[in-house]
């Protein structure tokens, strides 16, 4: 505690606290006053919270459907503080960051653009994911409403689709503000898939760029090109193909020896690119590592898998009523299968067009088989069994020199369950270099120092892997082309490349 803190005194005695004498009332989500909302064609929708690239692509994709949509800025530390100020106590970080981000944005509209709070409530709405979860996820929408009311935006509209229903929302939603039609979800998913592919390539290229910032600059050009294709309804495949020429301009030096670090964990904490995880990906790159990110599409595939799994399991239930869950009947099963294949097909086509050859979409059945001995597959919430599965997969398939599982402080499925199980997994796979680390929105120094400690070991492993390879006579030019992505049993990029040419390795390249 610093000196200023120790001098702080409450200006009210405990019995005089302002809330103490307030009349208790029942919490209600509906606004106290009747509000004359703008019709849905005039409503401006806000959302965000994915990666920077995906938020922009989704914006273009939804605008191409005639939806007035603005992507919210990336949640930062000020968003977190705003969320804490207006939210309930004991929430997890993603709640504070995302709820606070919306409140902060609306406050800015009010203060900087001079829009009255009534006008904002009348014309804006937020679209988010909802759903019933075994953790705090089930409370997100109520949390939004509570914080918005306390910040003076009582009655602000929140519209949601359920994360585990994918494109099959229609029957469950009455009077939706947005028409959550299959066409809406297909466009949305295309934007997410393309964003994932660009992000994966970015993480493969950025650590090896010879001119700092060149990868990000070209990714922005690709993003603009694809956004334009969405808006003008031109071929996305063609746009992805044209991105090849843009990405090829980035000069790379791919024989630098860098450890590969798989970043996984709770969905939002592992995926966000900002203060929500202390900029973990950029920190790792600055420390000399290459990141393997968790694409958003992994979460989507898990949701489809969970729905199918529940559907299969419910067939054995004696009670007929208990069978009517998210996906019921042969038609729904077929649609789920179709959705899975459509996602895989689009991912494959777009990846091929832009030249991402070394990435396979997750095989959730295989991952479930890896984790089933450790994690009850019936348990969902958070990443379900995926965290445990990813760690086992990384060891069995030699994917990374280090696995970091990042999670918000107090996350129930991730800290409370997966991390407990991971100690058994690391006991059975002692070669795993694993770190589970929590983000609280504060305490970055402690977080970074824990990451640095395990990164040291990962750097040693990456060096040893290269040292064991024979020395090449010459280095073929294709080595530094991003399109050259050999697949073999080596882990690090330099080792994979060298192993692929089976030539000796110059000692001058060792660091
Ligand atoms: S999975 Fe964890 S971080 Fe995400 S909503 Fe649930 S408790 Fe919060």
Ligand 1 atom having least distance to the Cα of 415: 2
Please tell me whether residue 199 adopts helix, strand or coil conformation.
helix
Q: Which of these, 49, 1, 46, 47, lies nearest to 275 by C-alpha position?
A: 49
Rounded to the nearest angstrom, the distance between the alpha carbon of 85 and the centre of ligand 1 is 19
The answer to whether residue 21 scores a pLDDT higher than 70 is no
Number of Cβ within a 10 Å radius of residue 78: 12
pTM here is: 0.87
Ligand 1 atom having least distance to the Cα of 412: 7
**Residue predicted with more confidence, 410 or 396:** 396
Inter-residue contact 276 to 93 (CB < 8 Å): yes
Inter-residue contact 297 to 193 (CB < 8 Å): yes
For residue 63, what are its two tokens? 């605008």
Output the pLDDT for position 102. Answer: 96
Please tell me whether residue 157 adopts helix, strand or coil conformation.
strand
Inter-residue contact 467 to 498 (CB < 8 Å): no
Indicate the Cα dihedral angle 258, 264, 269, 274, nearest 10°: 20
Ligand 1 atom having least distance to the Cα of 140: 5
Cβ of 166 closer than 6 Å to ligand 1, yes or no, is no
Output the pLDDT for position 222. Answer: 98
- Range in 51-60, 141-150, 180-189, 426-435 the model is least confident about: 180-189
383-403: average pLDDT: 96
> Strand pairing of 290-292 and 157-162?
unpaired
- Fold annotation for 30-162: Rossmann fold (3.40.50)
**DSSP structure string for 447-460:** HHHHHHHHHHHHHH
Distance CA 432, CA 398 (A): 10
Cβ of 185 closer than 6 Å to ligand 1, yes or no, is no
Ligand 1 atom having least distance to the Cα of 133: 6
Rounded to the nearest angstrom, the distance between the alpha carbon of 92 and the centre of ligand 1 is 6
Q: Which of these, 439, 497, 447, lies nearest to 469 by C-alpha position?
A: 497
The answer to whether residue 379 scores a pLDDT higher than 70 is yes
Average pLDDT, the chain: 86
Taking CA atoms only, the protein residue closest to ligand 1 atom 5 is: 137
The answer to whether residue 12 scores a pLDDT higher than 50 is no
Inter-residue contact 291 to 201 (CB < 8 Å): no
The runs of H, that is alpha helices, within 234-279 are 236-247, 267-271
Inter-residue contact 179 to 192 (CB < 8 Å): no
Cβ of 92 closer than 6 Å to ligand 1, yes or no, is yes
Cβ of 441 closer than 6 Å to ligand 1, yes or no, is no
The answer to whether residue 329 scores a pLDDT higher than 70 is no
Task: Considering only CA atoms, give the Rg of the chain.
Answer: 24
Cβ of 414 closer than 6 Å to ligand 1, yes or no, is yes
Q: Can you name the residues that pair with 159 across neighbouring β-strands?
A: 127
- Categorize the per-residue pLDDT at 90 as very low, low, confident or very high, splitting at 50, 70 and 90: confident
Inter-residue contact 33 to 155 (CB < 8 Å): yes
- Range in 53-67, 103-117, 167-181, 196-210 the model is least confident about: 167-181
Inter-residue contact 57 to 195 (CB < 8 Å): yes
Q: Tens digits of per-residue pLDDT, 280-328?
A: 999 999 999 999 999 999 988 998 898 888 877 776 666 655 554 544 5
Ligand 1 atom having least distance to the Cα of 382: 1
Inter-residue contact 101 to 79 (CB < 8 Å): yes
432-459: average pLDDT: 92
Element (H, E) at 443: none
Output the pLDDT for position 171. Answer: 41
Cβ of 223 closer than 6 Å to ligand 1, yes or no, is no
Order of strands across the sheet with 124-130? 69-71, 44-47, 124-130, 157-162
Rounded to the nearest angstrom, the distance between the alpha carbon of 132 and the centre of ligand 1 is 12
346-373: average pLDDT: 95
Rounded to the nearest angstrom, the distance between the alpha carbon of 439 and the centre of ligand 1 is 12
Rounded to the nearest angstrom, the distance between the alpha carbon of 335 and the centre of ligand 1 is 28
Output the pLDDT for position 443. Answer: 80
Number of Cβ within a 10 Å radius of residue 361: 18
Domain coordinates of the chain in residue numbers?
30-162
Inter-residue contact 317 to 482 (CB < 8 Å): no
Output the pLDDT for position 174. Answer: 44
The answer to whether residue 162 scores a pLDDT higher than 70 is no
> Of the spans 103-112, 163-172, 183-192, which averages the highest pLDDT?
103-112
Please tell me whether residue 247 adopts helix, strand or coil conformation.
helix
**DSSP structure string for 44-72:** EEEE--S-HHHHHHHHHHHHTTT--EEEP
Number of Cβ within a 10 Å radius of residue 48: 23
């Amino acid at each position: 505690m610093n000196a200023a803190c120790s001098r702080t005194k409450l200006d009210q005695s405990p019995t005089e606290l302002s809330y103490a004498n307030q009349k208790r009332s029942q919490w209600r989500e509906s606004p106290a006053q009747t509000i004359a909302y703008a019709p849905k064609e005039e409503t401006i929708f806000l959302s965000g919270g994915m990666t920077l690239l995906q938020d922009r692509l989704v914006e273009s994709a939804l605008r191409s459907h005639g939806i007035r949509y603005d992507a919210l800025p990336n949640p930062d530390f000020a968003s977190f503080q705003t969320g804490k100020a207006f939210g309930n106590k004991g929430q997890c970080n993603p709640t504070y960051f995302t709820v606070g981000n919306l409140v902060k944005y609306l406050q800015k509209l009010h203060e900087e653009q001079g829009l009255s709070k009534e006008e904002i409530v009348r014309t804006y709405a937020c679209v988010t994911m909802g759903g019933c979860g075994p953790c705090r996820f089930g409370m997100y929408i109520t949390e939004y409403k509570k914080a918005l009311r306390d910040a003076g935006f009582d009655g602000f509209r929140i519209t949601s689709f359920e994360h585990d229903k994918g494109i099959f929302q229609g029957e469950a939603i009455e009077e939706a503000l947005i028409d959550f039609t299959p066409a809406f979800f297909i466009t949305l998913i295309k934007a997410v898939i393309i964003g994932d592919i660009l992000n994966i390539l970015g993480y493969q290229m950025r650590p090896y760029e010879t001119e700092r910032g060149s990868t990000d600059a070209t990714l922005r050009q690709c993003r603009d090109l694809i956004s334009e294709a969405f808006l003008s309804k031109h071929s996305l495949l063609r746009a992805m193909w044209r991105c090849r020429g843009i990405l090829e301009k980035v000069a790379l030096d791919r024989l630098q020896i860098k450890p590969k670090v798989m970043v996984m964990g709770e969905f939002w904490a592992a995926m966000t690119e900002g203060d929500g995880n202390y900029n973990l990906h950029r920190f790792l790159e600055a420390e000399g590592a290459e990141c393997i990110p968790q694409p958003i599409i992994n979460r989507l595939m898990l949701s489809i898998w969970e729905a199918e799994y529940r559907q299969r399991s419910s067939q054995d239930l004696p009670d007929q009523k208990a069978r009517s869950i998210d996906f019921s009947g042969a038609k729904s099963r077929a649609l789920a299968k179709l959705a899975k294949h459509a996602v895989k097909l689009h991912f494959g086509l777009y990846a091929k067009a832009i030249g991402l050859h070394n990435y396979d979409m997750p095989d959730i059945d295989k991952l479930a088989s890896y984790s089933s001995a450790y994690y009850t597959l019936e348990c969902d919430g958070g990443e379900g069994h995926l965290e445990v599965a990813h760690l086992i997969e990384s060891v069995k398939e030699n994917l990374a020199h280090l696995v970091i599982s990042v999670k918000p402080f107090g996350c129930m499925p991730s800290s409370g369950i997966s991390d407990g199980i991971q100690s058994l997994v690391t006991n059975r796979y002692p070669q795993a270099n694993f770190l589970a680390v929590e983000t609280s929105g504060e305490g970055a120094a402690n977080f970074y120092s824990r990451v640095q400690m395990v990164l040291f070991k990962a750097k040693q492993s990456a060096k040893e892997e290269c040292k064991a390879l024979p020395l090449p006579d010459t280095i073929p030019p294709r080595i530094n082309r991003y399109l050259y992505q050999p697949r073999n049993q080596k882990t690090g990029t330099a080792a994979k490349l060298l192993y692929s040419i089976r030539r000796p390795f110059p000692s001058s390249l060792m660091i």
